[in-house]
Structure 1
Amino acid sequence: MKASEIKQLIEAGLPDADVVVIGEDGEHFDAVVICPAFAGKSLIEQHRMVKATLGDKFTSGELHALSLKTRAEK
């Protein structure tokens, strides 16, 4: 999987988000997601929202590791 694919999936699921995904080895990625929809949500809830945009990519093995940093404000 490519970083650009992960970015597209997150942006499709959270259209008002600013997303940056890096990772060159195809297995380990770091993402920063800033989204107004995170306002009032706990960190765990924010991460669940992001992971929901990725569907079954973790369980299917397409995505191995994703480190998330999330926040509501820009």
Structure 2
Amino acid sequence: MTDPTPEDVQRYIAQGLACEHLQVEGDGRHFSATIVAAEFDGLSRIKRHQRVYAALGDRMRQQIHALSMKTLTPAEFAAAGASAPAASAHTHH
């Protein structure tokens, strides 16, 4: 199995989660994603991350070694401008 590209991971997330903004960077094993979705409104950071993991499904265990996420609502993203607050980052190993 070949390592996924950032574009692959972005596609996997987008297939399972309606995103208003989605950016993924990475090296094939470790990825960083900024995910903006309206459905995050009212959810804790943990619930938001669980929602992304659900969108990734088995790929999170089989193909993606680590994923650091910034999960924001559209309003939070707009308030942050182009940069998302680092406090919402989480790394899964």
Could you tell me the TM-score, scaled by structure 1's length? 0.89
> Using the alignment, how far apart are the partners of 2:20 and 2:48 within structure 1?
12
Within the alignment, does 1:8 sit opposite 2:11 as a pair?
yes
| 1:1-74 matched pairs, under 5 angstroms | 1-23=4-26, 25-60=27-62, 62-73=63-74, 74=77
Identity %: 36
> Whose relative contact order is higher, 1 or 2, with alpha carbons under 8 Å and at least 6 apart?
1
Alpha-carbon offset, residue 18 of structure 1: 1.4
Once the two structures are TM-superposed, the CA of residue 59 in structure 1 deviates from its matched residue by: 2.1
Length-normalised TM-score, structure 2: 0.72
Query: Which one has a larger percent helix, Structure 1 or Structure 2?
Result: 2
What number of residue pairs does the alignment pair up? 72
Give deviations 1:24-60, integer Å, cap 9, x for gaps. Answer: x211110000000000000000000011111111322
Unaligned runs of at least 5 residues, structure 2: 78-93
**Mind listing any 5+ residue stretches in structure 1 that lack a counterpart?**
none
- Structure ID, larger Rg: 2
RMSD between aligned residues: 1.1
